[in-house]
Amino acid sequence: MARVAEEKKLIDSLEVGKDKVKVNMLQYAYDTLFFCEANAKSMFNIKAIFQCFELSFGLRVNFGKSRIGGTGMDQVVLQRVTTILNCETMVVPFIYLGMPVDGSHKRDSFWNGVIEKVQARLSRWKGRCLTMAGRICLIKYVLSSIPLFYMSIFKLPLGWLES
């Protein structure tokens, strides 16, 4: 559905990265994230997509759980968009799938949070009687997955690679 919207220029997609890849939607399980320019055409077409979804599948979009957020945009425009889509404004930073979304991944404080998560896991296991094999298994599979999850989305700053 989003591909048709992109081909017909119904939604003004965002261009991401140095290669200017157009992104207008991401889906994970029951969540759908739309990325677009904050203009009336895109907003009304997103609302039309929601209505087509409801008519096609007999399901309803839960606008009580839906949020909209904008980066680098005027708050008046954001308020107008929330009125069009009948949802609430999302406050940045926010957490999505356990990942902080605020654009600060180049700051040390962001990566300090990753270290704190790993340390919190370690402190929970400290009191348990684990064999050496159990400890190695936890370190290999659980503790390495936290930093890998973050590094799969965000580029690790060079200073962290050297330390």
CA gap 124, 37 in Å, rounded? 44
pTM: 0.61
* Residue 15: its H or E element: strand 14-16
Structure tokens at 29: 């399980």
The domains of the chain are located at 2-92, 99-162
Give DSSP secondary structure letters for 63-126.
TTT-EE--SS--HHHHHHHHHHHT-EEPPSSEEETTEEESS-TTSHHHHHHHHHHHHHHHHHHH
pLDDT in tens, the chain (163 residues): 555 555 567 888 888 788 988 888 888 887 888 888 888 888 888 889 889 999 999 998 888 888 888 777 788 888 888 888 888 888 777 777 777 777 677 777 788 888 888 888 777 766 567 777 877 887 777 778 888 888 888 888 777 766 5
CA gap 125, 36 in Å, rounded? 44
42 close to 36: Cβ distance less than 8 angstroms? yes
Looking at residue 2, its amino acid is: A
